[in-house]
Chains A and B, each alone.
Chain A
Amino acid sequence: MTWTGAERSSGAAVDRIADARRELLAGGQVDWTGPAAAAYAAMLRDTLGRMTGLRHAAEGARSAVHRHIVAVDAVRAP
């Protein structure tokens, strides 16, 4: 059934957000010297903070997709 691919995709979205977060966290281990670098450090921290909300949203979407697929399967079951 094609819509089971939705569950895989929603799971992959969560995984890729985690990958992005890991990269940004590792990049944040910089000795932020100089005003320009410090300004981008602040921006990076802000991006990381916003990504926490997106990660929660992605997990919520994955659960919603799962519930939808369960519901569809129940309706279509003979």
Chain B
Amino acid sequence: MTDPDEGPGLRVIGGAGGTRARIETLTAAAARAERAAEHLDAAAAHARRAVALVEESAPWSPVTAANVRSAAAPLLSGWGGLGARADDARVVAVGLRGAAEVYSQADRDATAALRAGFIVLGHRIGGAGPIAVLVVGGLLVRGAVTAGAAVLAARSLRYTPTPIGLLLRVLGSEPMRESDGPAGYLGRLLGGPGLLPEGLGPPPGDAVEVALPVVAATTIGLLPGRVPLERDPVDQAARLLRGGAAAATVLLGTPLPGLVVAPLVAAERSRGLSREPEPPRDVADVLRQVDALGDSGAPGVVGVQRLDHDDGGRSWVVTIPGMQSGGLLDAPAPTDMATNLELMDGWSDDMSEAVVQAMLQSGVGPEEPVLLAGYSQGGMAAMRVAARTSDMFTVSAVVTAGSPVGGMPLADGIQALHLEHTHDYVPALDGMPSPDAANRTTVIRDLTASPPADGSAPASSLLARLVDPIRRSHALSEYIRTAEQMAVLRDRSVQSYAESVASVLGDGTAEVTQQRYVAVRVPE
């Protein structure tokens, strides 16, 4: 469920206030109404039995028996008695299930079917060969250029004293621009000052999310030997690419099948407000710790913080960095492209393994609550660890920033927050929309609604307007800012997630013991 008025360019999807949660709540309410109906039916049966038994003894005391009949009459009345109220409860239950179904239908929406259709179409075009791909690509480019030229021509014609100019001015008038639906879109396309439409900028990540599976399906279709399409073409493409990269590593590089995880620095202790390292208080603080992992001077560093609370409780914060090497061949640090591909496809990957080993070496207990936080690739690793270690650790919450985790599974008992930016294409790389689950809250921020976090001037030229949001959108500093802005939102999903995080972090007075671990791939 989204609400554009939630904050400065912030949108919230899913979580405790999301559509899925509402569906679950309505379904639960319907189940309760059904149970209430059963109780009322049982009450009616008991009342009937009581009256019948009294009738058997009525000859001994006719007056009190008549009093019982009179007192029980409202209960057994067909119009307003227990049976009628049971029927009311059943009607409420049926209605609530119907309302949940309406939500559910809206939730499924038509875009999923459309997406599947485009994927199959893309695979067929790819299967038809490179010439078919070039022809379709050419037609798409030509269509886009023609549409752009038509918009420019229409916006120019607005200024002419002709009936067409008048019509275009009406279509681009302010009331039209402010209306919803296609009329509003047309109004915004034609209205406003200048030759270019207002709000013109790079395509949002949503567009990449839709296009990427189609591109992946087309690429798979292009492969020799007619490779059949699987359920998720992006995962399938990642697997094929990872297989190719592994083969290339054998031929061109040095395979590094082993993994060593070792403490990087000596443990530091502190307590309260003034000493380093300070205990994290919220999501923004945790993401600052992810950012600080870069200060270690080595790639592949995982941070583990132990929080000892005043009440004797102990909890943990585990921080995981983003990708640090983009090469396809295996690199010594597991924060590389190979790990990305493995995480996308669901293979076992070295970074998740490194995180688990770091947690075990730190002594994370099976009952002690853990918060996992990761940026970009680190967010994917956090999700993978949370999903696969339920028998080893108690992961209470996960934070991901700029991570493509829409299709990654997570157990119901774990609360997750996914931070994304409208023009950050990295979270869209899995080609999956943000899940609307009761335990998964996605906060999406449009960076064009606020000045850059690094203090630089807002973009003014058209080129800067196109490039600037993309340049800023995957920066961790902007994600930290998003977390700060999110913290003041009065959104039910966000507040519910904040409570989960607070159950791990405590009130900010915990004694902190911080340890970092470095993970290195080695030849066996």
Q: Which positions 30-58 of chain A face chain B at CB distance < 8 Å?
A: 30-31, 33-34, 36-37, 39-40, 43-44, 46-47, 50-51, 53-54, 57-58
B92-112 contact mask (Cβ, 8 Å, vs A): 1 or 0: 100110110011000000000
- Cα-based distance from A30 to B60 in the complex (angstroms): 51
B28 at the interface (CB under 8 A from A): yes
Q: A37-B96, A47-B92 are in contact. Are A2 and B64 (CB under 8 A)?
A: no
Q: Which residues of A contact B61 (CB under 8 A)?
A: 68, 71-72, 75
Q: Which residues of A contact B53 (CB under 8 A)?
A: 2-3, 5-6, 9
Once the chains bind, are A3 and B85 in contact (CB under 8 Å)? no
- Interface contacts (Cβ under 8 Å), in number, total 164
B502 at the interface (CB under 8 A from A): no
Q: A40-B96, A75-B60 are in contact. Are A68 and B54 (CB under 8 A)?
A: yes
**Number of A residues with CB within 8 Å of any CB on chain B:** 51
**Number of B residues with CB within 8 Å of any CB on chain A:** 54
Partner of B36, one of A9, A23, A71: A23
Once the chains bind, are B39 and A47 in contact (CB under 8 Å)? no
Nearest CB on B from A36, distance (A):
4
Q: A27-B36, A72-B60, A75-B61 are in contact. Are A57 and B74 (CB under 8 A)?
A: yes
Interface of chain A: mostly helix, strand, loop or mixed: helix
Partner of A26, one of B32, B47, B82: B32
Partner of B71, one of A17, A50, A57, A76: A57
Once the chains bind, are B64 and A68 in contact (CB under 8 Å)? yes
B43 at the interface (CB under 8 A from A): yes
Once the chains bind, are A20 and B39 in contact (CB under 8 Å)? yes
B89 at the interface (CB under 8 A from A): yes
Once the chains bind, are A13 and B47 in contact (CB under 8 Å)? yes
- Cα-based distance from A43 to B99 in the complex (angstroms): 14
Q: A33-B22, A44-B33, A58-B75 are in contact. Are A24 and B54 (CB under 8 A)?
A: no
Once the chains bind, are B54 and A50 in contact (CB under 8 Å)? no
Once the chains bind, are B43 and A16 in contact (CB under 8 Å)? yes
Once the chains bind, are A37 and B26 in contact (CB under 8 Å)? yes
Q: Which of A5, A44, A67, A76 has most chain B Cβ within 10 Å?
A: A44
B121 at the interface (CB under 8 A from A): no
- Cα-based distance from A69 to B72 in the complex (angstroms): 15
Q: Which residues of B contact A14 (CB under 8 A)?
A: 43
- Cα-based distance from A13 to B92 in the complex (angstroms): 22
A-B contact pairs, 19 of them (CB 8 A): A10-B46, A10-B47, A13-B47, A17-B43, A23-B33, A23-B39, A27-B28, A30-B25, A37-B96, A39-B95, A44-B92, A50-B88, A57-B75, A64-B68, A68-B65, A68-B68, A72-B57, A72-B60, A75-B60
A interface residues, Cβ below 8 angstroms from B: 1-3, 5-7, 9-10, 12-14, 16-17, 19-21, 23-24, 26-28, 30-31, 33-34, 36-37, 39-40, 43-44, 46-47, 50-51, 53-54, 57-58, 60-61, 63-65, 67-69, 71-72, 75-76
Closest 7 CB pairs of A and B: A27-B32, A20-B39, A6-B53, A16-B43, A68-B64, A9-B50, A27-B29
Known: A13-B50, A40-B95, A61-B75. 11 other contacts (CB 8 A): A13-B82, A16-B40, A20-B40, A24-B36, A47-B85, A50-B80, A57-B71, A57-B72, A57-B74, A57-B75, A67-B64
